[in-house]
Amino acid sequence: MAFDQTLTTQAKLVALQTLATGTLKMALYTADADLGAGTLTYSTANEVVGTGYTAGGNVLTGVTVLTSGTTAYLDFDDVVWNPAGFTARGALIYNTSLSDLAVAVLDFGADKTTTTTFTVQTPANTADAALIRFV
């Protein structure tokens, strides 16, 4: 008999399904924002202000929760602001149906400025590349 101490794949799947239930949104932030693992909820502090951007950000569409092997992951469509005229350094994905619970923080690595369309491209829909995953 062998034991593999782990969080089960089913538990990972259910946890992500719970996070994905309701409305997920992506809000954009300036470089002055202080976001990280300790972020609890969505906040307007240092949120982007500019043409085509509304406080609170955009609703995520095409949200799916999948598993591959022992990894559970969440996928969603690219998030687009059009028209757009602003600079963003990162983003917060949060769930409005769970009291604006913070789900994930994205760091763009540098300020990203646009005067036309701003798109946050999601990586490939795989267990190895998804932005939100339990391995």
Query: Which CA distances in Å does 54 have to 4, 30, 82, 84, 113?
Result: 47, 14, 11, 10, 16
Does residue 130 lie in a domain region? no
Does residue 116 lie in a domain region? yes
> From CA 42, how far away is CA 124, in angstroms rounded?
26
pTM of the model: 0.95
Does residue 4 lie in a domain region? no
Over the stretch 54-91, which tens digit does the pLDDT of each residue have?
999 999 999 999 999 999 999 999 999 999 999 999 99
pLDDT given at position 15: 95
Count of domains in the chain? Answer: 1
Does residue 110 lie in a domain region? yes
Does residue 32 lie in a domain region? yes
pLDDT-above-90 percentage for the chain: 97
Q: Which domain holds residue 115?
A: 9-124
